[in-house]
Amino acid sequence: MNLPGDSRTFFHHPGANALLDASSFDIESLADRNFKVLYLGYLTLLDKLDVMCPDGRTAAAHLLSHTRAHGIVTCVDLASFKSPTYRDTVEATLPEIDILFANELEAELATGVQLAGEADVDGMIRAARILKSGGIGMGVIVHSPARVVWCGHGGEHVLTPEPIPTERVISAVGAGDAFAAGVIHGIHEDWPIESSLIFGTRAAAACLTGYTATDGLKDLSVPASPPS
């Protein structure tokens, strides 16, 4: 099925994600085993965690607050779909997120900033700053196929991903997840954010060379030291 203006179409059924709530996580056990990072995806597609609590925060925010209290870094990813509660859900969760991932479409939905395209760095920075001002602990990553923007409390960084020959691109399915996985690996290893972003873009590029979300990643080697 093809829709005008869309590169690919997802038919989504919540399944078990609709039942995911705070009781699904044993944060104490994770902390006891020295887990360093919790990655939650996708906010705005998790029925019980997206719910707004009486204090104006989402159930996800309460879970993330509990996680941070145990010394675990919280990373949250968004989903690309239009919803009347999208922006409210994100804003009510921001104060308990250490690192937020958002592609250019999600950044628009979460902030109202209209981007001129995948290479609109100024627009991406504006959106990232708005999200950071909502209480983000470490920083916001707004990414597109053409650019990656980091907006953190220690400064901002813009990265242009290394080009990949068109003939090598098979499918974009999973590229955003591969990017997030690469960045999170760098964060876990205490790499500089610039190196983490580079590794994320290389993981995404590798993903593009396969039909599924993992086919292209089989030959991706993990560097012993931060890439530059």
Q: Can you give the pLDDT at residue 18? A: 92
Contact at 8 Å (CB) between 195 and 226?
Answer: yes
The CA–CA distances, whole Å, from 35 to 26, 32, 125, 220 equal 11, 8, 31, 24
Q: Can you give the pLDDT at residue 9? A: 63
Q: Can you give the pLDDT at residue 162? A: 92
The CA–CA distances, whole Å, from 158 to 9, 25, 100, 143, 152 equal 29, 34, 16, 10, 12
Ordered by start, the domain boundaries in the chain are: 15-160, 163-228
Contacting residues for 116 by C-beta, under 8 A, at least 6 apart: 123
User: How far from the centroid of its chain's Cα atoms is residue 193's Cα?
Assistant: 14
Signed CA dihedral, 171, 174, 177, 182: sign only = negative
Report the predicted TM-score, pTM, of the whole model to 2 decimal places.
0.93
Q: Give the whole-angstrom CA distance, residue 179 versus residue 134.
A: 24
Per-residue pLDDT of the chain (228 residues), as tens digits, is 456 666 666 677 889 989 999 999 999 999 999 999 999 999 999 999 999 999 999 999 999 999 999 999 999 999 988 899 999 999 999 999 999 999 999 999 999 999 999 999 999 999 999 999 999 999 999 999 999 999 999 999 999 999 989 999 998 888 999 999 999 999 999 999 999 999 999 999 999 999 888 888 876 677 778 888
The widest CA-to-CA distance across the chain, in whole angstroms, is 52
Q: Can you give the pLDDT at residue 220? A: 60
Contact at 8 Å (CB) between 7 and 172?
Answer: yes
Give the domain 15-160 fold.
UDP-N-acetylmuramoyl-L-alanine:D-glutamate ligase (3.40.1190)
Contacting residues for 52 by C-beta, under 8 A, at least 6 apart: 58, 88, 89, 92
Contact at 8 Å (CB) between 52 and 58?
Answer: yes
Classify the phi-psi angles of 15: left when phi > 0, otherwise alpha if psi is within -120 to 50, otherwise beta: left
Q: Residue 202: which of 225, 189, 221 has the closest Cα?
A: 221
Q: Please report which helix (H) or strand (E) contains residue 121, including its range.
A: helix 121-132
Q: Can you give the pLDDT at residue 219? A: 60
Q: Can you give the pLDDT at residue 7? A: 61
Q: Give the whole-angstrom CA distance, residue 174 versus residue 103.
A: 13
Q: Give the whole-angstrom CA distance, residue 13 versus residue 27.
A: 27
